[in-house]
Structure 1
Amino acid sequence: MSLGFLGAGRIAQALARGFISAGVMPAERMMASAPTERDLLEVKKIGLGITHENKEILHSSDIIFLAVKPGVVSNVLTEIAPWVNSDHLVVSLAAGITIDFIEKKLPSSTKVIRAMPNTPCLVGAGATMFSCGGNVQDRDRAIVNTFFSSLGYCAEGDESLIDACMAISGSGPAFAFTAIDGLADGGVKMGLPRSLAITLAAQTLLGAAKMLLETKCHPCELKDDVCSPAGTTIESIYQLEKGGFRKCLIEAVEASYKRAKEIQAIAKEI
């Protein structure tokens, strides 16, 4: 089995590195294509084969990861359609692009899976949801599940849920990095060295997430355990509530979801 990436940007690089680290696919059995040298040089450093020709990916790979920007998906699908056959498994990573849209651009027998991984796949702590098109067989489903499960949490679900999942897990790392940066700024304001503040903030979010997943407690229950009556933490929570912290997170997820729907609408017009 061999794997090819149409697109060699950050998500392709993260997945390639993750697959190699997890031992599910060696670098020499992966290839990536891109129109520019910059991204290709990065994947070449990882050990992947590189090419400027998308058709070479189709000729050399069994599993095709569609890892290009949503705005160019239509053109790429039109370009590769003559070389796609029923043996290929096409896994789309493009936000907002539906399985139906992809299937209509490719031969009718094409096996299409839509997946939404995130960048923490790079360190084996990813979160991925995927959905399958009508031609996908159990073997294909199992292969994709194995790949993404090796990089963290993976679940199969109905495609109607994918945009909402993407808004949390796909965009969520950026929210977390922003929170870490904000916490670190607070630490620096209180006199901590920058490097120490960032490490403490990152480790705190990591520990809190691990504690939640392992105890399976509701997040509010764990939050309440930290808030002593008239203590420092409940005062901090009060300030977060005054600033609309949870409201901002909810609205950030909603904004990401709505943007995915906008991308779908644009794609249909192309």
Structure 2
Amino acid sequence: MATFGFIGTGNMGGALARAVCTRIPADQVFVANRTAEKARLLAEELGCFPSDSTAIAANADFIFLGVKPQMMTDLLAEIGPVLAKRQSRFILVTMASGLTITSIQAMAGGAYPVIRIMPNTPASIGEGMILYVCGDGVAKTEETVFLDAMTGAGRLSALPENLIDAGSAVSGCGPAYVDLFLEALADGGVACGLPRATAMELAAQMVVGSARLALESGQHPGALKDAVCSPGGTTIQGVRALEKAGFRGAVMEAVIAAYEKTVGAGT
């Protein structure tokens, strides 16, 4: 059975380690972090093993590089010599925004097989949207093993690498936009007299239900919106207010701004 090593157990690395541990035996999972105590606590929680970056680089079949883009050069310079000495096969899994498969290979010092992923924070509760692309060196059987292990994180979608950054601007950055929307909805409810906890529950469940309806019905969101907007009713007046404020344009600009930042700076 394949082993999975996570170098970096921050919000996303930790979330993916938790997801993998729902699919494979925890004794096949190893976690490491710059702060060793953080890795130890996560390992204790999951029943997996605390480790360090060098040991994971030397032994794990799937090596998750869970560090920020600006830290990737140093990490790969550290573990590169270890990777170069390996006789067994391994796959690097990168989740660093803006860094291509080719750039990861260059930093690592070899044309190693790489899977590039862009997860999002809902992966921490198994409701993530994980974009991925396999480099040329990844075998189909290895992709299958990887996808099975990652199922616990949520929905996975293969994208060509030239679309990964655009996809991440929607699903990777999108939770922040939705959270702003949730907060604004709840604030509006509070302004109308609702207790804050009630307003937040109503707003959050509405977003969950609306998103599932869109996914499961396959209907265009415009049609779903029209179904709520009765002629002369209250909802269409709310939609009118959003349109007057430039709601859709603002959301589109947010996605484009995030995409341009990723492409331009790799951060």
Query: Shorter chain as normaliser: what TM range?
Result: over 0.9
Q: What are the ranges of 5 or more consecutive residues in structure 1 without an aligned counterpart?
A: none
The answer to whether structure 1 residue 44 and structure 2 residue 46 are counterparts is: no
Equivalent residue for 1:55? 54
Q: Is the Cα–Cα contact under 8 Å of residues 23 and 151 in structure 2 kept in the other structure?
A: no
Equivalent residue for 2:29? 30
Equivalent residue for 2:145? 143
Q: For 2:139 and 2:4, how far apart are their aligned partners in 1?
A: 18
Q: Is the Cα–Cα contact under 8 Å of residues 125 and 153 in structure 1 kept in the other structure?
A: yes
Between the two proteins, the alignment pairs up a number of residues equal to 262
Aligned residue identity for 2:43: K
Residue 238 of structure 2 is aligned with which of 231, 236, 239? 236
Equivalent residue for 1:79? 78
Q: For 1:172 and 1:63, how far apart are their aligned partners in 2?
A: 27
Where has structure 1 moved over 6 Å in runs of 4 or more? none
Q: Is the Cα–Cα contact under 8 Å of residues 90 and 113 in structure 1 kept in the other structure?
A: yes
Q: Equivalent residues in 2 for 1:111-150 (5 A)?
A: 111-150=113-152
Shift of 1:45: 4.3
Q: Is the Cα–Cα contact under 8 Å of residues 130 and 162 in structure 1 kept in the other structure?
A: yes
Equivalent residue for 1:16? 17
Aligned residue identity for 1:214: E
Shift of 1:244: 1.1
Equivalent residue for 2:66? 67
200 and 74 in structure 1: CA distance in 2 versus 1, 3 angstrom threshold: same
Equivalent residue for 2:163? 161
Three-state SS of the structure 1 residue aligned to 2:67 is coil
Residue 175 of structure 2 is aligned with which of 162, 165, 173? 173
Cα distance per residue 1:212-261 (max 9 Å; x no partner):
11110000000011011121111101111111111111111111111211
Q: For 2:147 and 2:134, how far apart are their aligned partners in 1?
A: 11
Q: Is the Cα–Cα contact under 8 Å of residues 145 and 155 in structure 1 kept in the other structure?
A: no
% identical equivalent positions: 37
Three-state SS of the structure 2 residue aligned to 1:131 is strand
Q: For 1:169 and 1:38, how far apart are their aligned partners in 2?
A: 31
Q: For 1:28 and 1:181, how far apart are their aligned partners in 2?
A: 40
Aligned residue identity for 1:248: A
Cα distance per residue 1:45-85 (max 9 Å; x no partner):
4233224x310111331110111011010111111111124
96 and 230 in structure 1: CA distance in 2 versus 1, 3 angstrom threshold: same
Range moving further from structure 2, 6-15 or 120-129: 120-129
Q: Is the Cα–Cα contact under 8 Å of residues 16 and 27 in structure 1 kept in the other structure?
A: no
Q: For 1:41 and 1:242, how far apart are their aligned partners in 2?
A: 52
Under a length normalisation based on structure 2, what TM-score does the superposition of the two structures give? Answer: 0.92
Q: Equivalent residues in 2 for 1:174-253 (5 A)?
A: 174-253=176-255
Q: Is the Cα–Cα contact under 8 Å of residues 4 and 30 in structure 1 kept in the other structure?
A: yes
Residue 257 of structure 1 is aligned with which of 256, 259, 262? 259
Three-state SS of the structure 2 residue aligned to 1:188 is helix
Q: For 1:147 and 1:63, how far apart are their aligned partners in 2?
A: 11
Shift of 1:38: 6.1
Three-state SS of the structure 1 residue aligned to 2:99 is coil
Q: Is the Cα–Cα contact under 8 Å of residues 19 and 151 in structure 2 kept in the other structure?
A: no
Note the aligned Cα RMSD (angstroms): 1.7
Q: Is the Cα–Cα contact under 8 Å of residues 19 and 150 in structure 2 kept in the other structure?
A: no
The answer to whether structure 1 residue 93 and structure 2 residue 95 are counterparts is: yes
Shift of 1:37: 4.7
263 and 179 in structure 1: CA distance in 2 versus 1, 3 angstrom threshold: same
Shift of 1:152: 2.0
Cα distance per residue 1:123-162 (max 9 Å; x no partner):
2211111111121111122122223334322121210000
Under a length normalisation based on structure 1, what TM-score does the superposition of the two structures give? Answer: 0.91
Q: For 1:69 and 1:6, how far apart are their aligned partners in 2?
A: 11
